[in-house]
């Protein structure tokens, strides 16, 4: 659990410098780095860009597939003007685990490759001098870690990642590294939750600080910079008359500025953009500001050529333009929390996010991408250790993302094995332990896989609304049998309809792998025509049930996966290619989405 996750910024009290660029990098094939003092200096490094996944730069397979320990290092000059402040290194994402050393001193370790962490390096820093930052990292997969998988040792002694999921195990410093300095007494965190009354809104805020001795004041400004409300103290209510609400695809943001003063002297300041809006689930509706919303959007991945899972503002910009062009209003951060810039984009563009923790692969049959293991996942002796990490990462995700108006809901797992009773205690505990985490009390959910149906899932009581991942027409009842796939889907939905469950269902995955440029009349699987027919089938079904409140086909774009006989160089279910050009289905779906009334 991280104490400090505020996004870094530079102002009169704070300092933030990105350490992106070329770092030293070395594989530790024999895991000897510790014993050989790599903590001080790497013996024979190559250069590696940051942020980036290391994998796809290499032309030899042993390097691309490398699984085990690897090291990064960089020399950084830290100016004396920062003396007296807390000095930190903030890693946006070190996939999957890292230990940080500065000038040979071990600072801290972190596990979880998709969330930030801060290393307080104050005690190790040399001011007005070069400082040697060294990171020991590891990208192995284990059943007691998120995302779940195995690490095999081949007969030749080399390790190999065996994910229980299909996306490629891209590894490295996938997001920016920041050198930051904050005052000793500083703003540690804040929350801002809105309620609406007639033509006014109240923003209930709380501020936590690192030390008690200081007074807190807050100012809320509109987009023109006009002050609309002020408050004093660590908690309070800011009343905004005639607020401009944050709405879906019509976002208005306010800037909240927190000031910390001692003896009338400013000692820290932190500003962030917030939105005024409410979210609720009422019956089978999803409500934003009391208005029903129908989700149109995608499951996505942070994935692009060369740099793998690295956050790339350029790719993100293109993805948002594509989603806007499609008429989308939402997406799921499948299958891990994304870079913080993504949420800032979504706040600004009025997109709703289903924010997902990397609890993926919690299903032995999912290892079927690699052969299949026939055991109920939650019967495993690894679940106690896994649970701790799972709760820890949900806590950090909620902590990091809670103030984004774009975040609609928390997805606590993707496709866990819930078709055996042994899942129930895990879920009971998870939903109880995460209930109070979010000050905004957003809905919590998880995706139900094909095997976890109305009839078979033991965990239907837990989510506030349902996410269904369904693949008739692709993984079963495919090709000419698709009409039976449709019948099966309707039979399941008829059971939901006849039950006393009154909660929204969002289809969070469905789709067909499609080779761009492959045309066939009549269609065959993998052709662009078949992808359209499959989407048409699902859309007919969606339009028949009023409790279906959203559609997010799999996937926005093609993405890299593990090798296997089910994939031709990646998952090709994208509506767009991996280089973000449309397949024919994108034009079909765009027309449908632009025709759907936004308040339907
Ligand atoms: C799923 C998974 C997703 C896969 C997808 C597929 O159910 O949630 O990660 O990529 O199926 O295409 O097989």
Q: Kindly report the average pLDDT of the chain as a whole number.
A: 97
Span 540-549, pLDDT tens digits: 999 999 999 9
User: 293 CA to middle of ligand 1, Å?
Assistant: 25
Structure confidence at residue 596 (pLDDT): 87
User: 416 CA to middle of ligand 1, Å?
Assistant: 12
Name the band, by pLDDT with cuts 50, 70 and 90, for residue 524.
very high
> Which of 97-111, 115-129, 256-270, 360-374 is the least confident region?
360-374
Mean per-residue pLDDT, 66-83: 98
Considering only CA atoms, give the Rg of the chain: 24
User: 366 CA to middle of ligand 1, Å?
Assistant: 9
Ligand 1 atom at shortest distance from the alpha carbon of 511: 12
State whether ipTM is beyond 0.85.
Answer: yes
CA angle 549, 202, 227 (to 5 degrees): 115
Name the band, by pLDDT with cuts 50, 70 and 90, for residue 360.
very high
User: 120 CA to middle of ligand 1, Å?
Assistant: 38
Element (H, E) at 159: strand 159-163
In this structure, what token pair is assigned to residue 431?
A: 């939903």
Distances (CA, A) of 304 to 186, 193, 309, 311: 37, 35, 7, 9
Mean per-residue pLDDT, 348-369: 88
Mean per-residue pLDDT, 361-366: 83
- Among this protein's residues, is 385 annotated catalytic? no
Mean per-residue pLDDT, 419-448: 98
Order of strands across the sheet with 254-262?
Answer: 227-232, 215-221, 254-262, 265-274
What's the distance, Cα to Cα, between the start and end of the chain in Å?
40
- Name the active-site residue from 415, 486, 529, 551: 415
Give Cα 264 to chain centroid, integer Å: 40
Structure confidence at residue 367 (pLDDT): 59
User: 166 CA to middle of ligand 1, Å?
Assistant: 7
User: Rounded distance, CA 544 to CA 450, Å?
Assistant: 20
Mean per-residue pLDDT, 429-437: 98
Tell me if 573 CB under 6 Å of ligand 1. Answer: yes
User: 369 CA to middle of ligand 1, Å?
Assistant: 10
Residue 292 class from Cβ within 10 Å (0-12 exposed, 13-18 middle, 19+ buried)? Answer: middle
Structure confidence at residue 375 (pLDDT): 78
Span 456-484, pLDDT tens digits: 999 999 999 999 999 999 999 999 999 99
Span 10-36, pLDDT tens digits: 999 999 999 999 999 999 999 999 999
User: Rounded distance, CA 52 to CA 57, Å?
Assistant: 9
User: Rounded distance, CA 112 to CA 97, Å?
Assistant: 6
* DSSP codes, 283-299: TTEEEETTEE--EEEEE
User: 257 CA to middle of ligand 1, Å?
Assistant: 41
User: 542 CA to middle of ligand 1, Å?
Assistant: 20
Span 123-169, pLDDT tens digits: 999 999 999 999 999 999 999 999 999 999 999 999 999 999 999 99
User: 477 CA to middle of ligand 1, Å?
Assistant: 17
What percentage of the chain reaches a pLDDT higher than 90? 97
CATH annotation of 187-274: 2.60.40.10
Span 285-294, pLDDT tens digits: 999 999 999 9
Residue 246: which of 185, 186, 201, 308 has the closest Cα?
Answer: 201
Instruction: Please say whether the beta carbons of 160 and 154 come within 8 A.
Output: yes
In this structure, what token pair is assigned to residue 285?
A: 């509706």
Tell me if 446 CB under 6 Å of ligand 1. Answer: no
Give Cα 578 to chain centroid, integer Å: 19
Instruction: Please say whether the beta carbons of 315 and 498 come within 8 A.
Output: no
Tell me if 414 CB under 6 Å of ligand 1. Answer: yes
Span 302-323, pLDDT tens digits: 999 999 999 999 999 999 999 9
Structure confidence at residue 372 (pLDDT): 57
Ligand 1 atom at shortest distance from the alpha carbon of 335: 9
- For the cut 60, the answer to whether the pLDDT of residue 368 exceeds it is no
Structure confidence at residue 599 (pLDDT): 59
- Among this protein's residues, is 528 annotated catalytic? no
Structure confidence at residue 370 (pLDDT): 53
Tell me if 166 CB under 6 Å of ligand 1. Answer: yes
Token pair 């693949």 in the structure block, residue: 471
Name the band, by pLDDT with cuts 50, 70 and 90, for residue 66.
very high
Mean per-residue pLDDT, 399-408: 98
- Name the active-site residue from 486, 509, 528, 551: 509
Tell me if 558 CB under 6 Å of ligand 1. Answer: no
Mean per-residue pLDDT, 226-247: 98
Residue 326: which of 575, 574, 513, 573 has the closest Cα?
Answer: 575
Tell me if 554 CB under 6 Å of ligand 1. Answer: yes
Residue 585: which of 544, 563, 553 has the closest Cα?
Answer: 553
- For the cut 80, the answer to whether the pLDDT of residue 365 exceeds it is no
Structure confidence at residue 366 (pLDDT): 61
Structure confidence at residue 263 (pLDDT): 92
Ligand 1 atom at shortest distance from the alpha carbon of 450: 7
What percentage of the chain reaches a pLDDT higher than 70? 98
Q: What is the fold, at CATH topology level, of the domain defined by 15-182?
A: Jelly Rolls (2.60.120)
User: Rounded distance, CA 505 to CA 286, Å?
Assistant: 10
Q: What is the fold, at CATH topology level, of the domain defined by 279-560+567-595?
A: TIM Barrel (3.20.20)
**DSSP designation for 583:** -
User: 367 CA to middle of ligand 1, Å?
Assistant: 12
Nearest CA to ligand 1 atom 3: 166
Nearest CA to ligand 1 atom 13: 166
User: Rounded distance, CA 442 to CA 14, Å?
Assistant: 31
In this structure, what token pair is assigned to residue 217?
A: 């004041």
Mean per-residue pLDDT, 270-292: 98
- Give the domain ranges of the chain: 15-182, 187-274, 279-560+567-595
Structure confidence at residue 364 (pLDDT): 83
Query: DSSP strand E in 40-128: where?
Result: 46-50, 69-78, 86-91, 94-95, 97-102, 105-111, 117-120
Q: Residue 369: CB partners within 8 Å, gap ≥ 6? A: 163, 164, 165, 166, 561, 562, 564, 566
Structure confidence at residue 371 (pLDDT): 56
CA count, 13 A, side-chain hemisphere, 278:
18
- For the cut 70, the answer to whether the pLDDT of residue 600 exceeds it is no
Tell me if 552 CB under 6 Å of ligand 1. Answer: no
The SS3 of residue 199 is coil
């Amino acid at each position: 659990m991280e104490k400090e996750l505020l996004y870094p910024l530079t102002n009169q009290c704070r300092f933030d410098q990105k350490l992106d660029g070329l770092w030293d990098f070395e594989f530790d094939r024999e895991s000897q780095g510790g014993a050989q003092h790599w903590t001080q200096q790497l013996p024979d490094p190559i250069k590696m860009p940051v942020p980036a996944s290391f994998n796809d730069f290499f032309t030899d397979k042993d390097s691309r597939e490398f699984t085990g320990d690897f090291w990064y290092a960089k020399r950084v000059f830290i100016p004396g003007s920062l003396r007296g402040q807390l000095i930190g290194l903030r890693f946006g994402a070190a996939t999957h685990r890292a230990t940080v050393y500065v000038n040979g001193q071990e600072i801290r370790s972190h596990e979880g490759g998709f969330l930030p962490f801060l290393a307080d390096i104050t005690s190790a820093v040399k001011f007005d001098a070069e400082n040697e930052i060294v990171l020991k990292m590891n990208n192995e997969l284990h059943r007691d870690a998120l995302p779940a998988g195995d690490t095999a040792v081949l007969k030749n002694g080399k390790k190999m990642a065996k994910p229980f999921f299909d996306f490629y195990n891209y590894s490295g410093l996938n997001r920016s590294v920041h050198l930051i300095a904050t005052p000793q007494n500083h703003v540690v965190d804040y929350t801002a939750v809105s309620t609406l009354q007639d033509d006014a809104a109240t923003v209930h805020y709380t501020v936590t600080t690192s030390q008690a001795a200081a007074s807190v004041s807050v100012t809320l400004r509109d987009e023109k910079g006009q002050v609309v409300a002020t408050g004093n103290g660590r908690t309070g209510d800011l009343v905004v008359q005639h607020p401009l609400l944050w709405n879906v695809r019509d976002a208005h943001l306010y800037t909240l500025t927190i000031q910390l003063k001692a003896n009338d002297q400013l000692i820290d300041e932190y500003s962030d953009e917030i939105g005024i809006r409410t979210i609720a689930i009422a019956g089978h509706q999803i409500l934003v500001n009391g208005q029903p919303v129908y989700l149109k959007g995608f499951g996505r991945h942070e994935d692009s050529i060369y740099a793998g899972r690295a956050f790339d503002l350029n790719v993100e910009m293109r993805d948002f333009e594509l989603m806007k062009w499609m008429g989308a209003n939402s997406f799921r951060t499948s299958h891990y929390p994304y870079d913080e810039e993504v949420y800032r984009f979504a706040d600004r563009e009025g997109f709703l996010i289903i924010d997902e923790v990397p609890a993926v692969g919690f299903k032995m049959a999912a290892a079927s991408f690699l052969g299949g293991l026939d055991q109920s996942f939650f019967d495993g002796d690894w679940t106690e250790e896994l649970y701790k990490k799972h709760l820890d990462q949900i806590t950090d995700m909620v902590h990091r993302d809670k103030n984004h108006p774009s975040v609609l809901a928390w997805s606590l797992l993707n496709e866990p094995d819930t078709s055996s009773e042994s899942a129930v205690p895990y879920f009971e505990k998870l939903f109880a332990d995460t209930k109070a985490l979010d000050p905004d009390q957003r809905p919590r959910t998880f995706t139900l896989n094909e095997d976890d149906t109305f009839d078979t899932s033991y965990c239907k009581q837990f989510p506030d609304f349902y996410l269904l991942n369904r693949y008739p027409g692709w993984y079963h009842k495919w090709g000419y049998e698709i009409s039976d796939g449709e019948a099966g889907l309707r039979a399941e939905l008829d059971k939901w309809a006849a039950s006393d469950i009154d909660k929204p269902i969002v289809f969070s995955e469905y789709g067909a792998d499609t080779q761009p440029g492959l045309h066939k009349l009549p269609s065959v699987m993998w052709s662009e025509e078949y992808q359209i027919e499959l989407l048409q089938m699902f859309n007919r079904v969606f339009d028949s049930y009023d409790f279906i409140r959203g559609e997010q086909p799999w996937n926005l774009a093609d993405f890299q996966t593990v090798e296997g006989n089910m994939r031709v160089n990646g998952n090709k279910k994208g509506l767009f290619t991996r280089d973000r050009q449309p397949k024919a289905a994108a034009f079909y779906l765009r027309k449908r989405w632009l025709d759907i009334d936004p308040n339907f």
